Amino acid sequence: MTEKLRLAVVGAGPAGIYASDILLKAEKQFDVSIDLFEQLPAPYGLVRYGVAPDHPRIKGIITALREVLDAGDIRLFGNVYFGRDITLDDLKKHYNAVIFSTGAIKDAPLDIPGIELPTSYGAADFVSWYDGHPDFPRTWPLEAESVAVIGNGNVALDVARILAKHADDLLPTEIPANVYDGLAASPVTDVHVFGRRGPAQVKFSPLELRELGELRDVDMIVYDEDFDYDEASKKAIETNKQVLVIDRVLQQWRTRETGQASRRLHLHFYANPVSYDGSVFRYERTEPDGEGGVRGTGEIREVAVQALYRAVGYFGSPLDGIPFDERRGVIPNREGQVLDDNDEQVHGVYATGWIKRGPVGLIGHTKSDAMETIKHVVNDQASWWTPEHPEESAIVELLESRGIEFTNITGWHNLDAHEIALGAPQERARIKVVDRDEMVRVSNQ
C-alpha cells in the first residue's frame, strides 16, 4: 500500500463530486488524493445537461458543487473517455480504487408498435439537444403541430413545457442560440401528455406542475372524466401533502376559461400507450383497480399527432470491463460495492448515483447515496489495488502521451467566464458553447 492513497472517480456529475467530497471529509486517518475523470469538457453532468434551461434555481446546486471542486483537493480531468482514453487496467496502475458515477443518460425502452418510427423520439435525446450537449446534433426536427409525450414524471413535464412554451420566453435563460432558432420556428399548437394512472398517482412534483400553468399564451386542458376518484385516490389526497397540492392545482385548471391561447397543453390520465403510426397515437383507457393501481378497460382511443416523445425514464450504459445489469441498466452492486456475475465483490471497484441505483430520486438524493458507498470504500482499504505508478504526475504523463486534450478546473473557469460574457450583452445568464472542440479550445486557452 502506498503512503498516499490515490482514488479515481469516473463521472463529474453531482454523484461523483459528492462522493469525492464525502470521502475527503470522512477519512482523515491518511493522506488521500482524488482524481475526477469526466468525458465532457465541463463538469456537473445532468445539472448542466439534464435540467431544463428555464429552471435556474435547480441549477443553483452548481454553486455547492463548484465549492467542492474549487477547494483544491480534487483534480478534474475533463474530455477524457473511460474505455477509450483510459481503461480499467490504466486505473489499476495509477490508483488504489475507482468509483464509477457515470449516471444514466439514455432513454428507457418503451415497447409499443411504431416506437421505432423517425418521428418517435426519446426524451433524454431531446433534453440533451435543448441543453446544448456537445455530442448531440445541433438541429432537431420540430415540424409537428400536435405532439404526444408519454410519461407522468418531471422529465415528461419538462419536455412538454419546452415544446409548448414560446421560444422568446426562453431568451433570458442559457438556452443555446441554435435551440432558440429551432423552437422559434416550431409550428406546434397542441402538446398531449399521457399517463397510465390517475392524477393522484403522478410522479411529478407540485412545483413542476404549477410551472405549466404559468406559461404565456398556453391553455392548460384537463378532462373531467379523469377526476372521478376511487377510494385509494381520495385517501392519497387526504394523507399525502404533495398529492393534495397537485390535486388543488389540477382542480383549479378545471375551472379556467380556455380557448383564447394560441397553444394548448393537454393532460390525459388513465391512458396506457398502445401504438403510434406516425399520424395517430392510440391508447387504452384504464381505470382504478381499487388497490392504488389501474387495469385496462378495453376501450381504445386515438389522438392525431405527428410526433411522439417517450419520457418513461432514463437508462444506464455499460462500461468496458465493468459488470453490467442489462435489464436494470445499472452496475450490479451491494451498497456500492460492485459485484461480478457470481455476486462476488469486485475489489477496488465501486459505484454511486444512478449507475448504482437506477434513475430514481432527485439530485439531492445522490448525497446520501454517496455516503453509503463511501462507507464501504473506507472500510475496504485492505482489499484495494496496489498501483505501480501512484505518483500524481503519472496520469498526466499518460494522458499527454496519448495526445488527449484534457481540461481541468482552471479550464472550466475559463469556459464558465466565456459563456457568461457571451450572454451579458443580451442580459442572459449565459450562452452555452455547444461545440466540443470549441469548449476545449476556450478551456485551454
pLDDT > 60? residue 29: no
pLDDT > 80? residue 432: yes
Q: For 109-138, what is the mean pLDDT?
A: 94
Distance of CA 204 to the CA centre of its chain: 14
Q: In terms of pLDDT, which residue wins out, 54 or 417?
A: 417
Confidence of residue 35 (pLDDT cuts 50, 70, 90): very high
pLDDT on residue 361: 66
pLDDT on residue 61: 83
Q: Backbone phi, then psi, for 288, in 5-degree steps?
A: -60, 145
Domain 108-313: what homologous superfamily? FAD/NAD(P)-binding domain (3.50.50.60)
Calculate ∠ Cα 117-143-303, nearest 5°: 65
Name every residue whose Cβ is closer than 8 Å to that of residue 29 and which is 6 or more positions away in sequence: none
- 415, 433 in Cβ contact below 8 A? yes
Instruction: Specify the residue for cell string 475489489.
Output: 347
C-alpha separations of 413 from 43, 115, 126, 395, 396 in Å: 11, 41, 27, 22, 20
**208-225 pLDDT, tens per residue?**
899 999 999 999 999 999
Q: What is the CA radius of gyration of the chain?
A: 23
pLDDT on residue 233: 92
- 311, 151 in Cβ contact below 8 A? yes
Three cell numbers, residue 30: 491518511
Q: For 14-29, what is the mean pLDDT?
A: 84
Q: For 393-398, what is the mean pLDDT?
A: 96
CA distance 149 to 154: 12
Residue 290, classified by CB atoms within 10 Å of its CB into exposed (0-12), middle (13-18) or buried (19+), is: exposed
pLDDT > 90? residue 404: yes
Strand pairing report for 314-315 and 106-107 = antiparallel
pLDDT > 90? residue 15: yes
pLDDT on residue 11: 96
Distance of CA 4 to the CA centre of its chain: 35
Residue 378, classified by CB atoms within 10 Å of its CB into exposed (0-12), middle (13-18) or buried (19+), is: middle
pLDDT on residue 43: 96
pLDDT on residue 16: 95
Q: In terms of pLDDT, which residue wins out, 56 or 117?
A: 117
Residue 288's CB is within 10 A of a number of other CB atoms, namely: 20
CA distance 99 to 11: 9
pTM to 2 decimal places: 0.91
CA distance 409 to 42: 9
pLDDT > 50? residue 150: yes
CA distance 308 to 230: 30
Mean pLDDT of the chain: 93
**235-277 pLDDT, tens per residue?**
999 999 999 999 999 999 999 999 999 999 999 999 999 999 9
pLDDT on residue 32: 83
Share of the chain above pLDDT 90, in %: 78
**162-172 pLDDT, tens per residue?**
999 999 999 98
pLDDT on residue 359: 83
**331-373 pLDDT, tens per residue?**
999 999 999 999 999 999 999 999 999 887 666 678 888 999 9
Q: Backbone phi, then psi, for 299, in 5-degree steps?
A: -85, 120
Q: For 277-287, what is the mean pLDDT?
A: 97
Per-position DSSP letters for 20-89, written without gaps between them: HHHHHHH--SSEEEEEEEESSSSS-HHHHHTS-TT-HHHHTHHHHHHHHHHTSSEEEEES--BTTTB-HH
**49-72 pLDDT, tens per residue?**
988 888 877 767 888 889 999 988
DSSP type of residue 194: E
pLDDT on residue 2: 43
CA distance 94 to 348: 12
- 280, 302 in Cβ contact below 8 A? yes
pLDDT on residue 94: 97
CA distance 170 to 167: 5
Strand pairing report for 271-276 and 97-100 = unpaired
Order of strands, edge to edge, in the sheet holding 271-276?
A: 271-276, 280-288, 294-304
Delimit the domains of the chain by residue range: 4-105+316-406, 108-313
Length of the chain: 445
Select from 258, 209, 202 the least CA-distant residue to 227: 202
pLDDT on residue 353: 94
Considering the segment(s) 4-105+316-406 as one domain, its CATH architecture is 3-Layer(aba) Sandwich (3.40)
